[in-house]
């Protein structure tokens, strides 16, 4: 079965509640009838308000992170139970900014992945190599390790709830996107890894997004590659003028 294209916007640490609601309203209007799966991930403070805007529309509400445990003495953390309570359906985990700035390792990300799945949240699991790793020829090895460790203990039955986002760190927020061919090649590697972790053929069933300086100008050539099933968009997701043409890349 053909995999459906999936376009997601990661708003990172941008937008007040008012700004987030305004953008969400514009997106609901402009993306009505878009054939692709859509998700937006506003900051925590705006999730509740944006939930009311996207409720009953095809735009899924996502969070950008969550704690690895359900509740307790974890100052500053946000629980999966709280996210579910306000209508969040998906969570981005293992983003390179979480890995690099906040020191999140594959083991912790794996705990979060399993907890999200336990509570029925979809997961966008981010993986990707740094520039140094790529220059040393280690991109495939790094991504293979991340996928393997982050999915440890995740059953095949849960894979429809998981999207993998290949986001080379050197391409995030830098304006330098991976070439469509380079990105496609890594996506193919990820499918092979899934074939070894699960049953042969499993890789073909999993949605794999590309992320890293996706913009209206390059969306079409990236998103029409055979192994690229969508995009996780950062900077260009902050404005209707740039996110909408990406979501409608094939119109
Ligand atoms: C991201 O944050 O996931 C991302 C891909 O950012 P940008 O599109 O700005 O490179």
Per-residue pLDDT of the chain (251 residues; tens, 9 = 90+): 689 999 999 999 999 999 999 999 999 999 999 999 999 999 999 999 999 999 999 999 999 999 999 999 999 999 999 999 999 999 999 999 999 999 999 999 999 999 999 999 999 999 999 999 999 999 999 999 999 999 999 999 999 999 999 999 999 988 888 899 999 999 999 999 999 999 999 999 999 999 999 999 999 999 999 999 999 999 999 999 999 999 999 99
DSSP 30-73: HTTT--SEEEEE--HHHHHHHHHHHTTSSEEEEES---SSSSSS
Q: What token pair was written down for 111? A: 């705990």
Q: How many CA atoms lie within 13 A of 164 on its CB side?
A: 29
Ligand 1: residues with CB < 6 A are: 10, 167, 172-173, 211-214, 232-236
Give, in degrees to the nearest 5, the angle at Cα 153 between 9 and 11.
10
**Which pLDDT score, from 0 to 100, does residue 150 have?**
98
121 half-sphere exposure, CB direction, 13 A CA radius: 31
- pLDDT, residue 175, reads 86
Of all protein residues, whose CA lies closest to atom 3 belonging to ligand 1? 234
Q: Which atom of ligand 1 is nearest to the CA of 95?
A: 3
CA–CA dist 227, 242 (Å, integer): 23
Through-space distance between the first and last CA atoms of the chain, rounded to whole angstroms: 22
CA 233 to centroid of ligand 1, rounded, Å: 5
Please state the atom number of ligand 1 nearest to the C-alpha of residue 174. 10
Residue with tokens 């937006």: 40
The answer to whether 124 and 8 are in contact (CB under 8 A) is yes
Please compute, for residue 249, the number of CA atoms within 13 A of its CA located in the half-sphere on the CB side.
25
Q: What whole-number distance in Å separates Cα of residue 240 and Cα of residue 72?
A: 38
**Residue 176 CA to ligand 1 centre (angstroms):** 11
pLDDT at 1: 62
By alpha-carbon position, which residue is closest to atom 8 of ligand 1?
Answer: 234
| Centroid of ligand 1 to alpha carbon of 72 (angstroms) | 31
**Hey, which residues are catalytic here?**
95, 167
CA 190 to chain centre: 15
Atom of ligand 1 nearest to the CA of 233: 8
Place of tokens 């927020």: 173
Record the pTM: 0.97
Distance 149 CA to ligand 1 centre (A): 23
């Amino acid at each position: 079965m053909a995999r459906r294209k999936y376009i997601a916007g990661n708003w990172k640490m941008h937008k007040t509640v008012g700004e987030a609601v305004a953008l969400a309203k514009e997106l609901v209007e402009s993306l009505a009838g878009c054939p692709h799966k859509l998700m937006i991930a506003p900051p925590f403070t705006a999730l509740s308000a944006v939930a009311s805007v996207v409720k009953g529309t095809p735009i899924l509400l996502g969070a950008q992170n969550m704690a690895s445990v359900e509740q307790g003495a974890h100052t500053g953390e946000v629980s999966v139970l709280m996210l579910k309570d306000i209508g969040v359906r998906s969570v981005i985990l293992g983003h390179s900014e979480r890995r690099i700035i906040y020191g999140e390792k594959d083991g912790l990300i794996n705990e979060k992945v399993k907890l999200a799945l336990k509570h029925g949240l979809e997961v966008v699991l981010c993986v990707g190599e740094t520039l140094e790793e790529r220059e040393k020829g280690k991109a495939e090895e790094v991504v293979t390790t991340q996928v393997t460790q982050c999915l440890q203990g995740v059953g095949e039955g849960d894979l429809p709830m998981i999207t993998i986002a290949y986001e080379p760190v050197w391409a995030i927020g830098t304006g330098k996107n991976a070439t469509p061919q380079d990105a496609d090649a890594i996506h193919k590697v990820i499918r092979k890894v899934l074939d070894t972790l699960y049953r042969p053929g499993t890789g073909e069933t999993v949605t794999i997004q590309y992320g890293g300086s996706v913009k209206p100008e390059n969306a079409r050539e990236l998103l029409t590659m055979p192994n690229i099933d969508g995009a996780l968009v950062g900077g260009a997701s902050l404005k209707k003028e740039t996110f909408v043409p990406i979501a409608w890349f094939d119109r």
